Amino acid sequence: MSKVVKVIEVLSQSNKSWEDATAKAVKAASKSIKGIKSIYIVDMSAKVDGDKIVQYRINAKISFLIK
């Protein structure tokens, strides 16, 4: 039996780190999607205020199984 995988694109942000933004993306997606298998970070960016990074942002693709 072959498996079908769907991919969605998500955006997430964090005041702590890119890793935290990634974890938040998976946590939020898992509330409505079951069977998440992977996350691929497409792009990372940050908002800067003065000389400090104040927000970390990611654009990611999450893949999950379709049953």
Q: What CATH code is carried by the domain that includes residue 55?
A: 3.30.1660.10
CA distance 39 to 63: 6
Tell me the mean pLDDT in the region 23-34. 96
pLDDT of 15 strictly over 90: yes
Domain that holds residue 53: 4-66
User: In total, how many domains does the chain have?
Assistant: 1
Bigger pLDDT: 1 vs 13: 13
Mean pLDDT for the chain overall: 95
Determine the average pLDDT of the residues in 52-56. 97
CA proximity to 44, closest of 13, 15, 16: 13
pLDDT value of residue 1: 67
60: nearest Cα among 4, 14, 16: 14
